[in-house]
Amino acid sequence: MTTTSPRLTSLIRRSSRTLAEEAVEALSAPIHSGQLGPGDKLPTESEIMRQLGVSRTVVREAISRLQASGLVETRHGIGTFVAQPAENPMHIPLSSVSTAIDAVALLEVRIAIEVEAATLAAERRTPEQLDAIRQALDHLTALESADVLDPQHAIDADFAFHQAIAMATGNTYFHEYLTHLGKGSIPRSRLQMDNDSHQRYLQKLNKEHQFIYSAIQAQDPATAGEAARSHLRNSQTRLKRALEAQDSAAESIR
């Protein structure tokens, strides 16, 4: 299938990243967002050069990196296309996170990834990326006042917030790795709560999310990283307590 690619935004030069890295981000963004799907054709080299204002060497290096990551494939004499997603052994479905130990262990992995992601996002984010993080946070905040909160909807929105931060690093591997972990890494996927409890839980999380966003907005890397670490450590504590409470309740009715 061939489709017209969304127009690519001209690159903003920043000393912290190479033009090839900027080009990778610009080309991968419509793939990650779903604007381009498997089999869709990317613009030609000449069109990318014109839209991004870079040399053919930069474009070819960016395409080569996308090929190495498995996002695109080049067909000789035809063009470059979005690749079919391969079987992903790193993806962790919700059903596989079967124990409290699994869930807590996943949070440890997230801390290792997302503290650095928040730090880099504060250094590198563009106005458009900051707006994407803000929109994800606004979506989460709006769920606090829902008459009936759909748990899966909240999990999806929470994951989208953290994915937006990963995208703002300018390093597609952060976003890809978080995507590989999947929504099973979100603590609420392990908890059973009534509507009121879920909304109170979400309010606590969103205060922490706001601290992360504010630090990224202020371009304060140290504070952003610490806010992310605090949020995920708090999530570990909340998860452990909630699971202990659920186990105690189950024991009391045996």
Average pLDDT, the chain: 80
Task: Map the chain to HEC letters.
Answer: CCCCCCCCCCCCCCCCCCHHHHHHHHHHHHHHCCCCCCCCECCCHHHHHHHHCCCHHHHHHHHHHHHHCCCEEEECCCEEEECCCCCCCCCCCHHHCCCHHHHHHHHHHHHHHHHHHHHHHHHHCCHHHHHHHHHHHHHHHHHCCCCCCCHHHHHHHHHHHHHHHHHCCCCHHHHHHHHHHCHHHCHHHHCCCCHHHHHHHHHHHHHHHHHHHHHHHCCCHHHHHHHHHHHHHHHHHHHHHHHHHHHHHHHHCC
Write down the pLDDT at residue 43. Answer: 94
The answer to whether residues 206 and 70 touch, using CB atoms and an 8 Å cutoff, is: no
Residue 6 lies in a domain: no
User: Does 50 score more than 60 pLDDT?
Assistant: yes
Domain assignment present for 105: yes
Report the distance separating Cα 226 and Cα 59, nearest Å. 36
In this structure, are residues 245 and 148 in contact, taking their beta carbons and an 8 Å threshold?
no
Q: 93-116, pLDDT tens digit by residue? A: 444 444 556 677 888 889 999 999
pLDDT value of residue 185: 75
Pair 98, 189 in one domain = yes
Residues 171 and 115 placed together within one structural domain of the fold: yes
Phi, psi (rounded to 5 degrees) for 146: -65, 140
pLDDT band for position 192 (cuts 50, 70, 90): low
pLDDT for position 84: 82
The proportion of the chain whose per-residue pLDDT surpasses 90, expressed as a percent, equals: 37
b/e burial code for range 210-228 (CB count within 10 A of at least 16 → b) = ebbbebbeeebbebbbbbb
pLDDT over 80 (residue 28)? yes
121 shares its domain with 230: yes
Residue 65 in any domain: the answer is yes
| Candidate ranges 79-93, 116-130, 138-152, 179-193; pick with highest mean pLDDT | 116-130
Distance, in Å, from the CA atom of 96 to the CA atom of 99, rounded to the nearest integer, reads 9
- Whether residue 141 is found in the same domain as residue 64: no
Does the structure show a pLDDT above 90 at 214?
yes
Mean pLDDT calculated for residue range 6-13: 48
Give the model's pLDDT for residue 14: 41
Whether the per-residue pLDDT at 11 is higher than 80: the answer is no
- Answer whether residue 141 shows pLDDT above 70: yes
Which residue range forms the structural domain that includes residue 52? 19-82
Both tokens assigned to 234: 């708090």
Same domain, 145 and 224: yes
CA gyration radius, the chain = 20
CATH of the domain at 131: 1.20.120.530
User: Is there a single domain that holds both residue 135 and residue 228?
Assistant: yes
Q: Worst-scoring range by mean pLDDT, 126-140, 160-174, 186-200, 223-237?
A: 186-200
CA dihedral for 47, 52, 56, 62, sign (positive or negative)? negative
The predicted pLDDT at position 144 comes to 82
| Domain total of the chain | 2
Q: Is the dihedral of CA 11, 47, 76, 72 positive or negative?
A: positive
Residue 8 lies in a domain: no
Greater pLDDT, 219 or 68 = 219
pLDDT band for position 175 (cuts 50, 70, 90)? confident
Average pLDDT, stretch 51-61? Answer: 90
Confirm whether 1 is domain-assigned: no
Residues 137 and 56 in one domain: no
Q: Is the pLDDT of residue 126 over 90?
A: yes
Instruction: Give domain status of residue 199, yes or no.
Output: yes
pTM of the model: 0.61
Residue type at 90? M
Q: In this structure, are 222 and 106 located in the same domain?
A: yes
Strand partners, 74: 80
Query: How far is C-alpha 191 from the geometric centre of its chain's CA atoms?
Result: 22
